[in-house]
Structure 1
Amino acid sequence: MVTYLLDIMEYADSDQVIEVLGGAVSTRVIRHPNRSFAFEVTLDLEKGSEHFSTKPPLHFHANQDEFIQATEGKIGLELEGTEYILLPGQDEYCIESWANHRSYPLELERQEGRTVVKFLLSGAKSPEVYELNTLFFENWYKYQEHVVRKGGKIDLIQALSTFDAGGTYVSFPRWVPFGRQVSQLIGIVVGRWLGGLLGYQPFYREWSTDWQLACDKMESSIFQRRWAVRSKPD
């Protein structure tokens, strides 16, 4: 018998919904007793056709296992160079920490007539300051929307700063010696240290529901603590 995270998630009418890219991506934040975060993600493949045509970058999470489970439509999961197709009715898939991966909706022609894809995404609890949580996803999603709306391009230092704050780092090709360690070091040095000196914040007030938590995290770094101004305007 398949157990869906929905069976143990705590749904409420007041659940936060993060909607970006003109409604192409809608993420419902759901409480989960044993996870750092839990989301129900809905992707509208017609609204987001131009956004979903390119796969997200390969990456890994240094401090947490991540879990994904399809509930509607087909999700592709590339894990250490192998593609897996996640289907409704299957158990959740555990993506272990430090594993190179990316997930994405399969193309419309492979969805058997479905134009909407849904999946559950969650992460293990972590004692680390730099972890995947709702705060990270809010800022990463809304930064991407900001870039699209302005017609610009992703700023590499900003991306590294935000990723590092979520304990997440871009994967290097397999042939790079100690690629994960090198990537994490670049994320820390360029994203956290240099980025902080140059004025890049991992979290922004207008994109952060829990600004006090954002300040707690930024105060942990001497390069970012100047952004931790706790008075948040309405």
Structure 2
Amino acid sequence: MPFHVKRTETAKLDTLQQYNGIRTTRWVQPPEGLSVLEIQTTHAPTALQKVPEDKNYLTPPYHWHWYQEEFFHVKEGRYIFTLEGKDTVVSASDPQPVRIPARARHTFKVDDTYDGPCTIEISTTVSPKSGSDDPEANGASSKFFRNIYTYLDDCYYQNVNPSLPQLLIFLDSAEVSLAFPFGPDWLMRALSYSMGVVVGRWFGGYVLGYKASYPEYWDDALEAKKGR
């Protein structure tokens, strides 16, 4: 298991390019009541068919948010959502948005059979632990997404498997836990939360020295100048 990959300097970029430009991601100021508003465009979904499944880090792992509701708005193309084990295909012409309740196990991915660009907007409600003066203080935020996306992209380019403790630290910092796809909800939530704390926060953070954010991926001073 690697201690750290060589980190790419992306903090100054307004838009992240992933997988040689297959996907671009940018963030805009979210409206009141939301902690983040992310816009993803997968420019060539069919190109992902050539990426081995175990190397496709563009698909989030099965997970759940502790407190935040998440909303997806498919602007163009087609995506596949998995909510509590059930797959649903959603196109831009379907009713929007797709709502994911807090604590619901889920993931989503672009439909790699779609021949054309696919764009989706992703947002989350403000975490109840965040103050009204800083809606991104807790929970999912552009800081969290920029760190985990760039880390996974670095792993992809350097052909290094992502470190589980590092991923768990990223997720834990955003009030997110990996989800087990089986078993009763209450037990699986307790186990996955505990794994994030023990393997991620304690072992990854205190023993291995992993962090929830890196200056190569996110610059607090720079973002403050942007008003974010």
* Length-normalised TM-score, structure 2: 0.78
1:81-100 counterparts in 2 under 5 A?
81-89=85-93, 90-100=95-105
Relative to structure 1, the CA distance from residue 126 to residue 52 in structure 2 (aligned partners, 3 Å threshold; closer, same or farther) is farther
Which residue number corresponds to residue 167 of structure 1?
175
Identity %: 26
Is the 1:75–1:86 Cα contact (8 Å) retained in structure 2?
Answer: yes
Structure 1 residues 93-130: Cα deviation after superposition (integer angstroms, max 9, x where no partner)? 1101100000001132xx2xx23111111111114354
Q: CA deviation at 1:46?
A: 4.2
Q: Equivalents in 1 of 2:173, 2:195: separation in Å?
A: 13
Q: Which of 61, 64, 67 lines up with 2:65 in the alignment?
A: 61
Q: Equivalents in 1 of 2:221, 2:149: separation in Å?
A: 16
Q: Equivalents in 1 of 2:138, 2:198: separation in Å?
A: 14
Which residue number corresponds to residue 40 of structure 2?
41
Verify: 1:179 aligned to 2:188, yes or no: yes
Is the 1:52–1:104 Cα contact (8 Å) retained in structure 2?
Answer: no
Is the 1:64–1:123 Cα contact (8 Å) retained in structure 2?
Answer: yes
Which residue number corresponds to residue 148 of structure 1?
156
Q: CA deviation at 1:91?
A: 1.3
Q: Give ranges in structure 2 of 5+ residues lacking alignment.
A: 1-12, 130-136, 224-228
Q: Equivalents in 2 of 1:168, 1:127: separation in Å?
A: 14
Q: Equivalents in 2 of 1:26, 1:49: separation in Å?
A: 18
Relative to structure 1, the CA distance from residue 132 to residue 50 in structure 2 (aligned partners, 3 Å threshold; closer, same or farther) is farther
Relative to structure 1, the CA distance from residue 211 to residue 82 in structure 2 (aligned partners, 3 Å threshold; closer, same or farther) is farther
Q: CA deviation at 1:47?
A: 4.4
Q: CA deviation at 1:158?
A: 0.7
SS at 2:20 equivalent: helix
Structure 1 residues 169-216: Cα deviation after superposition (integer angstroms, max 9, x where no partner)? 111132266111111111012211221212111111100143699xxx
Q: Equivalents in 1 of 2:105, 2:71: separation in Å?
A: 14
Which residue number corresponds to residue 16 of structure 1?
14
Number of aligned residue pairs: 196
Q: Give ranges in structure 1 of 5+ residues lacking alignment.
A: 1-14, 214-234
Is the 2:62–2:181 Cα contact (8 Å) retained in structure 1?
Answer: no
Relative to structure 1, the CA distance from residue 23 to residue 36 in structure 2 (aligned partners, 3 Å threshold; closer, same or farther) is same
* Length-normalised TM-score, structure 1: 0.76
Which residue number corresponds to residue 123 of structure 2?
122
Q: Equivalents in 1 of 2:46, 2:112: separation in Å?
A: 10
Is the 1:69–1:86 Cα contact (8 Å) retained in structure 2?
Answer: no
Is the 1:21–1:48 Cα contact (8 Å) retained in structure 2?
Answer: no
Q: CA deviation at 1:150?
A: 1.1
Which residue number corresponds to residue 137 of structure 1?
145
Verify: 1:72 aligned to 2:70, yes or no: no
CA RMSD of aligned residues (A): 2.3
Q: Equivalents in 1 of 2:104, 2:192: separation in Å?
A: 13
Q: Equivalents in 1 of 2:194, 2:61: separation in Å?
A: 18
Relative to structure 1, the CA distance from residue 207 to residue 51 in structure 2 (aligned partners, 3 Å threshold; closer, same or farther) is farther
Which residue number corresponds to residue 112 of structure 2?
107
Is the 1:60–1:169 Cα contact (8 Å) retained in structure 2?
Answer: yes
Q: Equivalents in 1 of 2:52, 2:120: separation in Å?
A: 15
Higher relative contact order (CA 8 A, sep 6+): 2
Q: Which amino acid aligns with 1:98?
A: R
